[in-house]
Amino acid sequence: MGILNLTPDSFSDGGQFNNEKSALEHAEKLLKEGAEIIDIGPQSTRPKAEYLSAEDEIKRIGNMISLTKKEFPEVLISLDTFYSETVKFGFNEGIDIVNDISGGQFDENMFDAVAKTKLPYILMHVNPSYETMHDKIKFADITLSVNQYFSEKTNELLERGVNDIILDPGFGFGKTVEDQMKMINEVGFLGFGKFPLLIGISRKSFIYKPLGKSPLEINEETQQLHMKVLQQGAKILRVHDVAEAKKILDEFLNKSL
C-alpha cells in the first residue's frame, strides 16, 4: 500500500502532492514501484495537525479518486478518513477500501456508513478521541489491550454486516516506543489469525527518534522491521517508499518458496 497524502502538513511529505498533477504523477510512481493499493489521505493525523471537517476533506479530495481510477483502472484505492460523509463521497467516486484510523470512535455513523458500502474496512487501534489519539499510554500489556479492542470492534462490525476487515495495530498513535517495539516482536499474536494484518511503520517516530535520525534517514531500519513483521504473518505494508519495501517483500516471498 503506497501512501498518497493530499495534505499541506503531513510530517514528512506535506505539500508535495496536494494538486492534481503532482498527485497523479506520484500515484504513477507508486504503481511503477510495485504498489497494489494507493491510500489517499486528505487530512494529516500527525500531532498538532490542522483539523479538517468532512466538508473540508471532500473539497480537498476533489476529483482525485475518480481521476486516479480513470488513469490507473487496475489500482485499488483506499480512502484514509474518519468521517462517514467522506466515506459516502469516496464510495460514489469509486474507492475500494475504507481506511479509518479512528476505529469508528470519532464519528458515530462510521460503521453504519461502511456497512452500506459493503467495502473492506481497515480497523485501527487508537485512543478513543481525536483530542487524545496521540496521548502516550503505558499499557499493562499492549498486545492484550490491542487484541481486546480488536475483539470488541470486530464484533460490532460483524453485527452490522461488515465482513471484510483488515486490522491495523496503530503504530505511531498513543503508544510508547517500548510498547511499539513489543508489538513488532509480537505481531504474530495480534488479531487472532482471523483477519489480515496491515502494518504501517513507515517514517514513524518510534524508529527514528531513539536513533537521533530524521524520518527520511531510517530506510534500512524500517525494512529490517518490515521483514520481521512479514515473517510473523503481516499481509499489507503501508509505506511511503514502495520500491524499498517491494525489495523486502520479494526477498521474503523468495525465502518462503
Q: Mean pLDDT for each consecutive 10-residue tract of the chain (257 residues)?
A: 81 52 92 97 83 94 95 96 98 98 97 98 96 93 97 98 98 96 97 94 96 95 97 97 96 90
CB atoms within 10 A of CB 128: 13
Per-residue pLDDT, 134: 93
Per-residue pLDDT, 13: 42
Strand partners of residue 124: 168
Per-residue pLDDT, 9: 46
Non-local CB neighbours of 71 within 8 Å, separated by 6+ positions? 24, 27, 28
Per-residue pLDDT, 36: 97
User: Which residues are identified as catalytic?
Assistant: 204, 238
Per-residue pLDDT, 230: 97
How far, in Å, CA of 187 to CA of 171, rounded? 11
- In terms of Cα–Cα distance, which of 119, 127, 111, 110 is closest to 170? 127
Per-residue pLDDT, 244: 96
CATH class of 2-256: alpha beta
Per-residue pLDDT, 44: 84
Per-residue pLDDT, 7: 81
User: What is 157-194 written as a DSSP string?
Assistant: HHHTT---EEEE--TTSSB-HHHHHHHHHTGGGGGGGT
3-state class of 94 per DSSP?
Answer: coil
| Predicted structure pTM score | 0.93
